[in-house]
Amino acid sequence: MQHYFLKQPAQLGASVDLNSDISRHWVKVMRATPGDHAEFVDLNGNLFLGQLQTSTDEKTTVKLVENLDSKSEIPVNVTLIMGLPKQDKADWIVQKTTEMGVSEVIFFAADWSVAQWKGNRIDKKLERLQKIAAGAAEQSHRLKIPTIKYEKSLENIVTSFSGRLLVAYEEAAKQGEKSELRHQLGEVNSGDNLAVVVGPEGGISPAEIQLLENNNGIKVGLGPRILRTETAPLYFLAAVSTIIELNS
Amino acid sequence: MQHYFLKQPAQLGASVDLNSDISRHWVKVMRATPGDHAEFVDLNGNLFLGQLQTSTDEKTTVKLVENLDSKSEIPVNVTLIMGLPKQDKADWIVQKTTEMGVSEVIFFAADWSVAQWKGNRIDKKLERLQKIAAGAAEQSHRLKIPTIKYEKSLENIVTSFSGRLLVAYEEAAKQGEKSELRHQLGEVNSGDNLAVVVGPEGGISPAEIQLLENNNGIKVGLGPRILRTETAPLYFLAAVSTIIELNS
């Protein structure tokens, strides 16, 4: 079943006019006809079953006929603090971490980032990434579209973050450190804020490690293999889901 | 440090002539000079520290000066049985699952696969994927290059597989099934064979589910979000690593 995000709060029984993006996709691409159903998430994260009432070139109306229950959100807020990677890797980091349940992705200009985002193009890039996040959130049937940000200064990010701050540290993998991640995730409670810092291709610089440690960052290994910069966030999020969502 | 795979068995103290691929990369691209070190894995999965002795246009010789200990392999053999996906997704499924520790990837022509591999092109495709696996295994410092195969018949794969057979089942996510994967991974012992079947974009057909169940396949959910076909194997492998490699 299709899954769409409404841009307004809504309630059971309401008739809602769909915006042109949803209308085009559901009616034109997916060929929905009156009586067909789809899922709709309102701005407050409520999930409804919606039934298509009428669709004309001017207006498509859906009636919200049932409240649906969903457990598709990880019960902690996970922020990915990601050193700006090369090429188009930002696109698919956003797509894949959205599928995996991330709440927020903040790219930062790391000391050892080769890629740079220049001032006048940042807004465009963020707009594009935000669209990718919205598409992936629909696809994976989430209740929340992650927020995508850019921040030049890692210090600004970590000093304004309040929660458990982890640092994916490649050296930990090399040294065979294997228990800290699982230990840390075992201590997380529902509703907590959890962040992970992942370096760019060149890794995290000593100055950045120092800064993170000064701000209570805890170094964790992501298993014993050396993961590429774009693979590490996926390992992390799957580990969060495995430990926190999969009940044994 | 660079990490290379030798195509022969080797032993401590031996001087080994490197093949032209390794020699080109280490000496020409990475500009190694005599006295420099790299890691070398022999055909039996033994890891050595090697020191560059001499390099001429004809011959590059390395001396294996130290045995190294490594825990970079997941202690179970993980086979990914992957419904043939669209486009170039096979490439990056191989790259990413290799980084994450897979032992073997078997693509199969699933009932609902849109992509098809035609007879005369299969060998070329496998050769290409095998190269991607080798590169990713070097990059992630593994001791083993995963084997990449193609098999038309899912039945042939599952009837010749001996071990624990899991099936990543999207319907399980929709129904909120959350415990089976973690339960199954908790039962796995060192040295075991573990396989997971992941469907293509269209999913696993009812006939395939029946076949898998007839062969002791156990349906497991990969968390509550709907993952794309290329994301599911990564979640699975990260979960295997989290449960089996990360000691709490």
Closest residue by Cα to residue A197 from A78, A89, A103, A101? A78
Domains of chain A: 3-68 (2.40.240.20), 77-244 (3.40.1280.10)
Which residue does chain A place closest to B173, by CA atoms? A72
Q: What is the predicted pLDDT for the residue at A58?
A: 87
What ipTM is given for this predicted complex?
0.93
Q: Do A141 and B96 touch (CB under 8 A)?
A: no
Q: What is the predicted pLDDT for the residue at A164?
A: 98
Question: Rounded CA gap, B223 and B209, in Å?
Answer: 19
Q: Could you tell me the strand order of the sheet in which A3-5 lies?
A: A3-5, A37-41, A47-55, A60-68, A15-17
Question: Which residues of chain B lie closer than 8 angstroms to A178, CB-CB?
Answer: 245-247
The low-confidence residues of chain B, meaning pLDDT below 70, are 173, 176, 248
> Which of A100, A188, A225 would you mutate first to test chain B, the one with the most B CBs within 10 A?
A225
Question: Which residues of chain A lie closer than 8 angstroms to B99, CB-CB?
Answer: 225-228, 231
A186 CB near a chain B CB, below 8 Å? yes
Question: Rounded CA gap, A145 and A143, in Å?
Answer: 7
Size of interface A-B (CB pairs under 8 A): 121
Please determine, for residue A16, whether its predicted confidence score (pLDDT) is greater than 70. Answer: yes
Q: What is the pLDDT of residues A185-196, one digit of tens each?
A: 999 999 999 999
Q: If contacts are CB pairs under 8 Å, which of residues 82-121 in chain A contact chain B?
A: 96, 99-101
Which residue does chain A place closest to B75, by CA atoms? A224
Q: Between A232-244 and A89-100, two packed helices, what is the crossing angle to 10 degrees?
A: 0
Q: Do B231 and A96 touch (CB under 8 A)?
A: yes
Q: Do A239 and B246 touch (CB under 8 A)?
A: yes
Please determine, for residue A248, whether its predicted confidence score (pLDDT) is greater than 70. Answer: no
Q: What is the pLDDT of residues A184-234, one digit of tens each?
A: 999 999 999 999 999 999 999 999 999 999 999 999 999 999 999 999 999
Please determine, for residue A48, whether its predicted confidence score (pLDDT) is greater than 90. Answer: yes
3-class DSSP assignment, residue A47: strand
Q: What is the pLDDT of residues A102-147, one digit of tens each?
A: 999 999 999 999 999 988 899 999 999 999 999 999 999 999 999 9
Cα B139 to chain centroid, rounded: 13
Q: What is the predicted pLDDT for the residue at B57?
A: 87
CB atoms inside a 10 Å sphere around CB B17: 13
